[in-house]
Structure 1
Amino acid sequence: MPPPRFPSLVLRSSLFILASSFLPSAQAVHQKNAGPEEVELKFNLPPPAPLSPEEAKKTFKVEKGFHIELVASEPMIESPVAMSFDAQGRLYVVEMRGYMHDLEGGGEKEPTGRVSLLEDTDGDGRMDKATPFLDNLVMPRAVLAVNGGALIAVPPNLYFCKDTDGDGKADVKDVVATDFGTLGGQPEHMADTPVWAMDNAIWSAGYSTRFKLRSGVWQKDTGLGRGQWGLCQDDFGRLYFNYNSDMLRADLLPTEAFTRNPLLRNATSINAKLAADQTLYPSHPTPGVNRGYDPKSLRADGTLSKPTGTCGALIYRGDAFPAAYRGNAFVPEPCANLVKRFTMREKDGIVKATNTAKTTEFLTSTDERFRPVQAANGPDGALYLVDMYRGIIQHQSFLTHYLIANIEARKLETPFNQGRIWRIVPDSKERPQPVKVSKDVNLLTHANGWVRDTAQRLLVESGDAATVPALKEMLSNESALARLHALWTLDGLAAVTPDLLRPALADKDAQVRAAAVRIASRDLAPDLIALSAEKDALVLANLAIKLTSFNLPDADAAVAKLLASDGKNTLIREGALTGMRGREAAFAKLLVGQLTKENGAQIMPVVEALGSLLAQANKAGPFEEMLDLAAAQPQGGAVQVAAIKGLASSSSDPKSKMPAKLLWLNAEPASLKTLKAAMTDKSSAKLFANVAARLAWPGKPGAPPPPKIVPLNEAQTALFEKGKTIYATLCAACHQPHGFGLDGLAPPLVDSEWVLGKPEILTRIVLNGLAGPVKVSGRNFNLAMPPLPQLTDEDIAGVLTYIRREWEHTGSPVETKAVKTVREQSKGRMAMWSEEELKNLGKKTSSK
């Protein structure tokens, strides 16, 4: 479905009736998600009538001091799911008109979607002109005004579209990416919401590639797949997102840094949960949610108590609201027909969100078809809402029997062709006026964050060197936000020099200093190393990220000194760990060299974290190096305990039931005897036993026979090398060069039971694809791998041989003729494989 998992459907409060009627259950489509077949409609309400925009407006209750205004509605737009303002205040709106015409998902394969360009030609605040900018689309889902046109997502493609003749319709349609979702894929689990962030990169929710526009060319770079439906940034460029049941998360440190170390999956600096209290207060009963049969979902009065369909969160950065609202988070929950407001606070780089609601919300509606799916800042400083306006919001793939019964009983399948854009403004006498943005450096000082962002984008897009002097002058502006935008704009124009950055590294504002550290190149390594007087945690965390990326002895020594003072700080520690992949043991040795009686509490968390990374890496050599380091420390001391505790944690997922990989050494390490004698108390002895159990060597009592590694012959080696090239060009974008994959996009290949299992299973996956859910290395992934039938038999044999022998794998090679055989067996198959099908291949099925 459009927005993130919209798992619910809400029932009208004015007719709240308690009943106990059992209905025969309709057939839920997704059997693993279907819930109980016998459903009880406790709140048996009559079918509600769809409301006109004027009628719907009367159902809203907005926080005191504000009111809601209509910007656009049907028939001008239908089923809107996303929007983006261009620099002139025109509005691109994505209309997913094929979404859920009935309970079977009818309409989704039809090219009925479009992106419309809306204009307010008379300046009254209401859109009065609509042009089909791009039409005849199958389930479009995202748009971003950029470079005089727009990026538009129509899975599996992301297009750049532009109107060059002034008629409002796109006559340029260039492919930017071909993996932005899957054609016919699950709409709740695909990339969406591209955002031009302060770092001049375009990030998207649920998508691991970021884009940069340089001299008119779209450049691709790695990022991290984050969130489900919706993405935004705050005044400092931090990315915020959400999941269906978690209203607000953020990356507290630069997202791209964590791509360097894929084992930092559980880092708390990224994908950080911000709101402890997410209690909801709908203004009417909402029993028609997908899990309404579960007593934990609804209160006794029938209202939803926790989020189930969150999407499109926004950090408000406008200038129309009172100052107390700047930086607040506004989060739509379409299943509860409301928008929640969180106040934000930050301390030492850690951001927390506080639920402002006590018994009500910032905005609620008693109209169950009010479906806010995106909140956005506008050129007038107001807060805008995309309202999909419909009865069915949950996609058919996840409908439960309970929700189907509610939909049928209350006749909520239709209408599906309505939709509104709303604006929330304060109760002032004058309506705020929109700002038209140009390549004016002075607009970087504007109070409206949307204006500043747009001005920065236009300046970077222009590549105009003539603006550089004014931008340099802006670096001395009294506004820290203006200085911050000027610095990033100069970076986007490739106009940053060491002489320009040095003053920024000493700026009085910590956010400016942190940005200067992020932007600094290797040429400034001596200046960064010399930042010994820095005290701000956020700046120090960025400094740790930058210095460890240099891989220079002096830089590493500076980081060791930094961690010896601040290793307990989560941001600083995790920032440093981003650059230590492959040299954990060496850095632990360097860090231990800094140990004193006074700084042990700072150093030990880092030693433990380094040991944990080594335990997850499953590499025998570095693991043994850490053991040797621990054995060389004072017996029973803190370093030994921290190192062994880290090495004893074999998985990044504490819930994983997968046994730890056995690490083979050439001989029993002497360090084991030393450590066994030192680890005498019950807790330490248990940790040591876990570590020792992971190690094996020839002749170890109870150890299995060592693995037999058959060398590749000349032909197989040639296949391996060919597969290496194919992997780098075709597979590494998702599964990554290191093979550990990307959360939210691609599962790991390293030590995967699928990779090291039967080669014919792998071959089938490459030929026909694999649709989730699927369990890999003890973790569940609900993703889709597209088929790659364009690869030749030799290509497939090569890439499979590569992944079965790379990363210390010892799997057998895959022969070309074996691939050919499987291709013949799969001839005519069009559907992707499922995990269950692949596991049952060759098994006889019994019939009763």
Structure 2
Amino acid sequence: MNKICVCLLLMGVVGCGKKEYKDKIYVKPEIVREAPSDFLSPEESIEKFYLPEGYRIELVASEPMVNEPVAIAWDGDGKMYVAEMNTYMQNVDGDGEDEPISQIKLLVDLDGDGKMDKSTVFIDSLLLPRMILPLDDRLIVNETYSYDLWSYRDTDNDGVADEKIRVYENPKRRGGNLEHQQSGLVWNLDNWVYTTYNPLRFRFNKDGIKVDSLVDGSSGQWGLTQDDLGNMYYSSAGGETAAYGFQVPAIYGEVDLDGQISEGFMEPWPVVGTPDVQGGAELRLKEDGTLNKFTGVAGQEIFRGDKLPPSTYGDLFIPEPVGRLIRRAKIKNENGKKVLYNAYDQAEFLASTDLNFRPVQAQTGPDGSLYIVDMYRGIIQEGNWTREGSHLRPVILRKGLDKNIGRGRIYRIVHEEIKPGGKPQLLDKSAEELVDYLGHTNGWYRNTAQKLIILKGDKTVVPKLKDIARDNESFWTENFGDKDYPRERVHALWTLEGLGVVDKSLILEKLNDVDPRVRITAIRLSEEFLKKEDQEIMQALAKVQNDNDINVVNQLVLSLRYSKSAESSDLLSSVSEQYGDNELVAASVDLGLKAKDSDLQQLKHRLANKSNGHKWRALDGYDIYKQTCVTCHGQDLKGVPNGENSLIAPSLIGSPRVMGDKEVLVKILLNGLTGPIDGKEYGIMLPMGSNDDDWIGHVATYIRSMNDTTMVHENEVRDIRAKDPDRKNYWTLKELLK
């Protein structure tokens, strides 16, 4: 105990010790390979959960109040919006899935006990809603197969939306199966809204919406979350990747480093057998019949609440609906590189023996607890995986999983020694009142307050925000942790940015802040001045290369891309020479160089001598590939590594299926592919035939262009499609090459 703590103790001010909470892992049950699949009541299902000692799970809402829930979000007063996919896999073939009869519910806790008491259908007649973002009294919604964003509002307070306005329009239809659709709509720390599978980001303010493009586009599948500095965590069920893209903020591109997923991390530890996994026992199951690798990762969340033990703050919680479990990952900073570790030895934070438990989203709640969305159903895989000839179909029918539909549960995880917080009341607060919440211990409050201040556009709070930002407090945080003042300064700076107030003198001051998180923020905010080649900013940044925090130095590298000056190039070279052996810095240097010679620029150079028709088809195909194919085939088309000497999907560079007869490639795109490829098993290549002929032709043209061969015209796709109009099964190479 340091001397200052002793003095404060003698003065009766406060104790220095931090309370330790129970967090002992449970004793795992004996594994049942073929557990019953009968529906259980919420109370019965809760009895099937396994959690560490001290934690418990509480029911927030269940059927009939909610049905087929997939995503939740709260407005500033704690009312919960629930997106329901009411037509998702209602039988083994997924019939009727595209009927526009899904809903978004509005749930209200009337007595503050944590359980929802009232439910109204806020929006109906939707096509599988997948993204929801509460703004102020508006809700932004995106539906499956569409890029459009709609704003809904309830103007008469009856719990039903009666105003509908399209705020972003893109006439293109989003192709692909349900896995290859957008998710997210996360209001990031940097005041931009991010999604998966979209090369765009959005910004809302009192004047409307602004759209910007991302350097590398965006991949990821179901689920998107951020940490305290706005680093986004993506996941890919198709790519069987629990988390990626989290080393640097998404605006700079994707950086993934060897070893960022620790050894053994991808092995899950279910407490029940997993017969219904794509690929079957030989490929996907351990000897005890449980899942051997993450495969259905979805809806991950960096927990930033304040009503679980402090050790959980900043941990990544990853739902795995196929394995009926939720992984808790510790994120360790190892010389600048973030590395994920399982918080428990050969065990999961939460696991269930109920075969219908299907966790698809985790969220930090306004009450500081961790919320879990349980779709609670039999089939979790989309229809492309359950076709005739698939491994899953007979298992589903044998277990009766196709009959388990039309239910759903929402839970919260609490700790027996910590009382959850109360309901928020932020919507009617003034901007000045909201500023006080930027230092709240619950990240939900901080993010919501920042968002509401920016949407109000009230600049009378600028002096107060600057006062907070100019503070240089660290002692109290380091010694007691009651309030994280540097974190409050970070939010104050970004709130100023969101209001359009980027003060150069304040940035120069904050480059010397005592806390590295604030220095990182100041560097990011300096980018507006770097674009203008501001010499005073450049001179100040030159000193940052000697910062004692490697993540601050790395941010310098990332931000220098916005200056075209010789000084910027010299500074980047100096940093590269000084820190060239640091894995993260080296990757960021490469990323900066790539930004100046992007994949798109390289493609345009490759297409220089092609016809105009070839060029525009390949460029459109490039966008499609980056959104749909990259999670398995990789940015460079050479396949994503899947352990040593193996790939998730085969390389498309030099492939005879790509460079040879166009018909082979088009047929694979239309109906998918199964079976061995060049003597190796890769699982199933999903069919893309639900997309139109232009879509198929353009992505095929891009892939073939990267192999320096001819384009594929949409009329060629039409003719090839017409040869097998009724085909439902995947192709095999034996069939295609005979």
Instruction: Bin the TM-score by the shorter chain.
Output: 0.7 to 0.9
* Secondary structure class of the residue paired with 2:99: coil
1:160 matched to 2:173: no
Whether the 8 Å CA contact 1:251–1:272 is kept in 2: the answer is: no
Distance 2:77 2:37 in 1: 39
Q: Tell me which of 370, 373, 377 is aligned to 2:360.
A: 373
- Equivalence map 1:678-757=2 (5 Å): 720=612, 734=624
In the superposition, relative to structure 1, how do residues 225 and 511 fare at CA in structure 2: closer, same or farther (>3 Å)? same
* Secondary structure class of the residue paired with 1:104: coil
Letter in 2 for 1:541: N
Whether the 8 Å CA contact 1:804–1:810 is kept in 2: the answer is: no
Counterpart residue number, 1:95: 84
Q: Tell me which of 489, 493, 496 is aligned to 2:502.
A: 496
Q: Tell me which of 105, 121, 132 is aligned to 1:132.
A: 121
Distance 2:521 2:441 in 1: 20
In the superposition, relative to structure 1, how do residues 388 and 541 fare at CA in structure 2: closer, same or farther (>3 Å)? same
Counterpart residue number, 1:433: 422
1:293 matched to 2:281: yes
For 1:288-336, what per-residue CA distance to the aligned partner results, in whole angstroms no more than 9, with x for missing partners?
4334421761233x33343222211111110101212211222212222
Q: Tell me which of 273, 285, 301 is aligned to 1:314.
A: 301
Distance 1:581 1:519 in 2: 22
Deviation at 1:209, TM superposition (A): 2.2
* Secondary structure class of the residue paired with 1:554: helix
Deviation at 1:63, TM superposition (A): 1.5
Counterpart residue number, 1:413: 402
1:196 matched to 2:196: no
Distance 1:724 1:398 in 2: 34
Query: Which sits farther off after the overlay, 160-169 or 740-749?
Result: 740-749
1:476 matched to 2:466: no
In the superposition, relative to structure 1, how do residues 760 and 369 fare at CA in structure 2: closer, same or farther (>3 Å)? closer
Whether the 8 Å CA contact 1:16–1:285 is kept in 2: the answer is: yes
Q: Tell me which of 421, 444, 465 is aligned to 1:450.
A: 444
- Equivalence map 1:262-281=2 (5 Å): 267-269=255-257, 272-273=260-261, 276-281=264-269
Letter in 2 for 1:326: Y
Counterpart residue number, 1:577: 590
Counterpart residue number, 1:568: 581
Q: Tell me which of 25, 44, 48 is aligned to 1:59.
A: 48
Whether the 8 Å CA contact 1:224–1:743 is kept in 2: the answer is: no
* Secondary structure class of the residue paired with 1:580: helix
1:395 matched to 2:382: yes
Letter in 1 for 2:102: G
1:148 matched to 2:154: no
For 1:473-493, what per-residue CA distance to the aligned partner results, in whole angstroms no more than 9, with x for missing partners?
110343111011111111122
Letter in 2 for 1:153: N
In the superposition, relative to structure 1, how do residues 429 and 561 fare at CA in structure 2: closer, same or farther (>3 Å)? closer
Structure possessing the higher radius of gyration over alpha carbons: 1
1:50 matched to 2:50: no
Letter in 2 for 1:458: L
Deviation at 1:132, TM superposition (A): 1.7
Distance 2:353 2:487 in 1: 40
Whether the 8 Å CA contact 2:284–2:293 is kept in 1: the answer is: no
TM-score, normalised via structure 1 length: 0.67
Query: Which sits farther off after the overlay, 270-279 or 397-406?
Result: 270-279
Distance 1:199 1:407 in 2: 44
Whether the 8 Å CA contact 2:278–2:284 is kept in 1: the answer is: no
In the superposition, relative to structure 1, how do residues 270 and 235 fare at CA in structure 2: closer, same or farther (>3 Å)? farther
In the superposition, relative to structure 1, how do residues 53 and 757 fare at CA in structure 2: closer, same or farther (>3 Å)? closer
* Secondary structure class of the residue paired with 2:403: coil
Deviation at 1:177, TM superposition (A): 4.8
Deviation at 1:380, TM superposition (A): 0.4
* Secondary structure class of the residue paired with 2:168: strand
* Secondary structure class of the residue paired with 1:299: coil
Query: Which sits farther off after the overlay, 426-435 or 436-445?
Result: 426-435
Distance 1:86 1:505 in 2: 35
Letter in 2 for 1:156: Y
Counterpart residue number, 1:108: 97
Q: Tell me which of 333, 336, 349 is aligned to 1:346.
A: 333
Deviation at 1:101, TM superposition (A): 1.5
Q: Tell me which of 245, 270, 291 is aligned to 1:282.
A: 270
Distance 1:421 1:484 in 2: 32
Whether the 8 Å CA contact 2:307–2:420 is kept in 1: the answer is: no
For 1:792-837, what per-residue CA distance to the aligned partner results, in whole angstroms no more than 9, with x for missing partners?
xxxx9xx99x989999x9878x9xxx97976996898997999999
Whether the 8 Å CA contact 2:694–2:714 is kept in 1: the answer is: no
TM-score, normalised via structure 2 length: 0.77
Deviation at 1:455, TM superposition (A): 0.9
In the superposition, relative to structure 1, how do residues 392 and 335 fare at CA in structure 2: closer, same or farther (>3 Å)? same
Distance 1:139 1:268 in 2: 32
Deviation at 1:348, TM superposition (A): 2.9
Query: Which sits farther off after the overlay, 90-99 or 103-112?
Result: 103-112
Q: Tell me which of 549, 560, 567 is aligned to 2:562.
A: 549
* Secondary structure class of the residue paired with 1:485: helix
Distance 2:136 2:259 in 1: 30
Distance 1:353 1:804 in 2: 33
What is the aligned-residue identity percentage?
Answer: 29
Counterpart residue number, 1:246: 241
Counterpart residue number, 1:594: none
In the superposition, relative to structure 1, how do residues 126 and 275 fare at CA in structure 2: closer, same or farther (>3 Å)? farther
Whether the 8 Å CA contact 2:671–2:731 is kept in 1: the answer is: no
Query: Which sits farther off after the overlay, 531-540 or 480-489?
Result: 531-540
Over aligned residues, Cα RMSD in angstroms?
A: 4.6
- Equivalence map 1:502-541=2 (5 Å): 502-520=508-526, 521=528, 522=530, 523=534, 524-541=537-554
Whether the 8 Å CA contact 2:545–2:556 is kept in 1: the answer is: no
Deviation at 1:471, TM superposition (A): 1.3
Letter in 2 for 1:488: W
Deviation at 1:742, TM superposition (A): 6.3
Aligned residues: 657
Distance 2:714 2:583 in 1: 51
Whether the 8 Å CA contact 2:223–2:234 is kept in 1: the answer is: yes
Deviation at 1:341, TM superposition (A): 1.6
1:258 matched to 2:253: yes
For 1:648-696, what per-residue CA distance to the aligned partner results, in whole angstroms no more than 9, with x for missing partners?
xxxxxxxxxxxxx9xxxxxxxxxxxxxxxxxxxxxxxxxxxxxxxxxxx
Letter in 1 for 2:385: F
In the superposition, relative to structure 1, how do residues 526 and 378 fare at CA in structure 2: closer, same or farther (>3 Å)? same
For 1:362-387, what per-residue CA distance to the aligned partner results, in whole angstroms no more than 9, with x for missing partners?
22222111111110000000000000
* Secondary structure class of the residue paired with 2:592: coil
1:221 matched to 2:213: yes
Distance 1:583 1:115 in 2: 43
Whether the 8 Å CA contact 2:560–2:568 is kept in 1: the answer is: yes
Deviation at 1:462, TM superposition (A): 2.2
Whether the 8 Å CA contact 1:746–1:783 is kept in 2: the answer is: no
Deviation at 1:447, TM superposition (A): 0.2
Whether the 8 Å CA contact 2:75–2:136 is kept in 1: the answer is: no
Counterpart residue number, 1:22: none
Deviation at 1:724, TM superposition (A): 6.8
Distance 1:307 1:746 in 2: 19
Deviation at 1:100, TM superposition (A): 1.2
In the superposition, relative to structure 1, how do residues 531 and 810 fare at CA in structure 2: closer, same or farther (>3 Å)? same
Letter in 1 for 2:374: D
Whether the 8 Å CA contact 2:366–2:421 is kept in 1: the answer is: no
- Equivalence map 1:756-767=2 (5 Å): none
